[in-house]
Amino acid sequence: MRVVEYGLRALAAKLRVPVAAGKRIKYATWSTIISALQTRIETIDKTTGKTKREKCDSNYYRLALNDCNIFKDFWRNDVMHTRGNYDEGEALEVYGRVKEFIQGLVKKGVKRPSKQLEKLLRTKK
């Protein structure tokens, strides 16, 4: 889930999301960033005169935000707060979804926020 968090923060940086109470994205919680991203994407969606590519990007960002919510609610929260565990099958499923999420961000021009992601992106499974 740490890899998803890096991706979440990178997406927020790409979309120039202001985070609450003067905190830098680096120190904001998942919920704060997701809420700020939701607001930013809604603002982008309301912009008139968007090109076809901008509309496509906006759709992608909305889907990426949805993925972040899924990661947070279904996989991260219980495990990070010691209320659940993954079995091997679930761990492999999560791994695959995380890899797809990060690769999608990179394809959309979201810069890798750390060297730690490079290893994941080079993994061939």
The DSSP-derived string for the chain is: -HHHHHHHHHHHHHTT---GGG--GGG--HHHHHHHHHHHHHHHHH-SS--HHHHHHHHHHHHHHHHHHHIIIIIIHHHHTTS----HHHHHHHHHHHHHHHHHHHHTTPPP-STHHHHHHH---
pLDDT band at 114 (very low <50, low <70, confident <90, very high): low
pLDDT band at 84 (very low <50, low <70, confident <90, very high): low
Mean pLDDT in the chain? Answer: 79
Of residues 29 and 63, more confidence is placed in: 63
Residue 83, Ramachandran bin (φ over 0: left; ψ between -120 and 50: alpha; else beta): alpha
The number of angstroms, rounded, from the C-alpha of 73 to the middle of its chain's C-alpha atoms is 13
pLDDT band at 92 (very low <50, low <70, confident <90, very high): confident
